[in-house]
Chain A
Amino acid sequence: MNAQAAPATAMEPVLKTQNLSLWYGAHHALNGVDLAIGVNRITAIIGPSGCGKSTLLRCFNRMNDLFPPVRYDGSILFHGQDVLGPSTDLVALRRRVGMVFQRANPFPMSIFQNVAYGPRLQGISSRRKLEEIVESALRRAALWEEVKDRLNRSALGLSGGQQQRLCIARALAVEPEVLLLDEPASALDPTATAKIEELVLEIKTSVTVAIVTHNMQQAARVSDETAFMLNGKLIEEGPTRTLFTSPRERLTEDYITGRFG
């Protein structure tokens, strides 16, 4: 795809891959992907299992490095800087590009401590400042009203949906510019899923969101842009409205209408 013509580049891209390929050992997981993620946009990445969508998401904060042996080719630009370079500070990158996973993974500590964990690591020790950050992050994650009276209770006592929103609050507490969501609602019931979707729509005024989902209706409901991947390749990317009503590519149409997969 011509990156100049990609709709997401109509605004400033925060993240951009250029001819990005990735191998896990001999497995060629990504093949020449060009994708731009626009600032304060919600970009959904869809595709069948094994298409490389989660791998692509994990490229943006180099999380794939945790699955060696991994080899990259091409470039991943964050504000124009290639994060594949040896000088990249991965801790700093992952603070600015946060991530939430499919299974909620709260730390075995209190709700407050979970959210304050990141800010404390950054050196914030003032109790008042931490309280401000925790309340703000929990509000942004649409969880504050449900937990404000039990902040010192264990996070493990929360429901699955609440735990996932807590993980989003924890990610938001360090004020990331980008939030990567890897199938954040796939283990949740429809009500909990709807809460996650609503909060994603709320936080996009301040955070750029990239979300991997195998729920196409979810992609259609929450995202501004959608990218469709198949066999490690980006098949089509464009405004969600267009992709779900009049996709350009036959492969996209066949996938989203359930004619294969």
Chain B
Amino acid sequence: MERHFHHDLHTLQDRLGEMAGRVETALSKALEAMNRRDTRLAREVVDEDQAIDRIELEVERRCLDFLGLQQPVARDLRFLVASIRVSNYLERMGDHAVNLAQSAQKLADLPPGKGMTEVMAMGERTMRMLRDAVSAWLAHDGPLAKRVCESDAEIDTFKAQIFAKFSSEMVHDPGIVPQSLELVLASRNLERVADLATNVAEETVFVADARVIKHHADEIAEKSSGREPAGR
């Protein structure tokens, strides 16, 4: 028996899918704008962020309605609570895409500097992580979500390398400081996107496997109770 409520949950998931698609597009455009020094494309990212914000508000309202009116339990309850958080993570990723687009606008006014290749490589890896996190969320795919969480360390390494490279280069050539600072900021924004993608993946595991893995909560619970973490 398919209840209206469950049909409505599918609709909610579709909205989150659309929101995630917009975030992916924003991030991809922001990186391209930075790479091609394309201020028009950067402007688009800034303008399109409002649509992402609107979906977040809509998802939040729908989730509150369902929680108040349907008394959901089990997977439905976990899905709704997680959806509120996921919509917030996606909205924040959208904000980071805007930050990247604004960096792209500033960089377009500066002479080209070194280090763009590294930032683009980091951007590509971050995009792949985001796409996997969204695919896992939409398919309730716990194993894929766990792989996303594991890949976050790669992004942190990228950022550390970029920081190290630019720190020394800026010391030797103060003339490149304005461009380099923008690229360091860009890597910081990408790192935050990767963290948020990890958060989405953690929510996926919560929905799919009824396990809380953020902050290593399951390991903490396991140690304190001496039991295996709950699972199915």
A246 interface contact, C-beta 8 A: yes
Interface size class of A (residues with CB under 8 A): 10 to 19
* Inter-subunit contact A247/B74 (CB<8 Å): yes
* Inter-subunit contact B71/A217 (CB<8 Å): yes
Contact (A248, B232) CB under 8 Å given A259-B1, A260-B1: yes
Query: In the bound complex, how far is the Cα of B205 from the Cα of A246, in angstroms?
Result: 12
* Inter-subunit contact B230/A257 (CB<8 Å): no
Which of A242, A244, A259 is in CB contact (< 8 Å) with B6?
A259
B210 interface contact, C-beta 8 A: yes
* Inter-subunit contact A258/B5 (CB<8 Å): yes
Cβ proximity bits B209-226 to A, threshold 8 Å, 1 near / 0 not: 010000000000000000
Taking CB atoms, residues of chain B closer than 8 Å to A258 are 1, 3, 5-6
* Inter-subunit contact A244/B74 (CB<8 Å): yes
Given contacts A217-B71, A244-B73, A257-B76, 18 further A-B contacts (CB under 8 A): A242-B230, A244-B74, A244-B77, A245-B73, A245-B74, A245-B78, A246-B74, A252-B74, A253-B75, A256-B73, A256-B74, A257-B72, A257-B75, A258-B1, A258-B3, A258-B5, A258-B6, A259-B1
Contact (A216, B73) CB under 8 Å given A245-B210, A246-B78, A258-B3: yes
Interface residues of A in 217-249 (CB under 8 A from B): 217, 220, 242, 244-248
Closest to A261 in B: B1
Closest to B77 in A: A245
Query: In the bound complex, how far is the Cα of B78 from the Cα of A259, in angstroms?
Result: 16
Interface size counted on chain B using CB atoms at 8 A: 15
> Most B CB atoms within 10 A — which of A247, A250, A260?
A247
Closest to B206 in A: A246
CB distance from B74 to the nearest CB of A (A): 5
Taking CB atoms, residues of chain B closer than 8 Å to A253 are 74-75
CB distance from A3 to the nearest CB of B (A): 18
Query: In the bound complex, how far is the Cα of B232 from the Cα of A247, in angstroms?
Result: 9
Q: Which residues of A contact B (CB under 8 A)?
A: 216-217, 220, 242, 244-248, 250, 252-253, 256-261
Taking CB atoms, residues of chain A closer than 8 Å to B74 are 244-247, 252-253, 256-257
Closest to B70 in A: A258
Closest to A256 in B: B73
Query: In the bound complex, how far is the Cα of B107 from the Cα of A71, in angstroms?
Result: 85
Query: In the bound complex, how far is the Cα of B166 from the Cα of A149, in angstroms?
Result: 86
Cβ proximity bits B5-23 to A, threshold 8 Å, 1 near / 0 not: 1100000000000000000
Taking CB atoms, residues of chain A closer than 8 Å to B71 are 217
> Most A CB atoms within 10 A — which of B72, B75, B76?
B75
Taking CB atoms, residues of chain B closer than 8 Å to A256 are 73-74
Q: Which 9 A-B pairs have the closest CB atoms?
A: A246-B210, A244-B73, A253-B74, A256-B73, A257-B76, A258-B3, A257-B74, A217-B71, A247-B74
CB distance from B155 to the nearest CB of A (A): 30
CB distance from B72 to the nearest CB of A (A): 7
20 contacts across the A-B interface (CB closer than 8 A): A242-B230, A244-B73, A244-B74, A244-B77, A245-B73, A245-B74, A245-B210, A246-B78, A246-B230, A247-B74, A248-B232, A253-B75, A256-B74, A257-B6, A257-B73, A258-B1, A258-B5, A258-B6, A259-B1, A261-B1
Taking CB atoms, residues of chain B closer than 8 Å to A220 are 73
CB distance from B108 to the nearest CB of A (A): 50
Closest to A258 in B: B3
Closest to A253 in B: B74
Query: In the bound complex, how far is the Cα of B5 from the Cα of A260, in angstroms?
Result: 13
Query: In the bound complex, how far is the Cα of B202 from the Cα of A252, in angstroms?
Result: 24
Closest to B212 in A: A246
CB distance from A244 to the nearest CB of B (A): 5
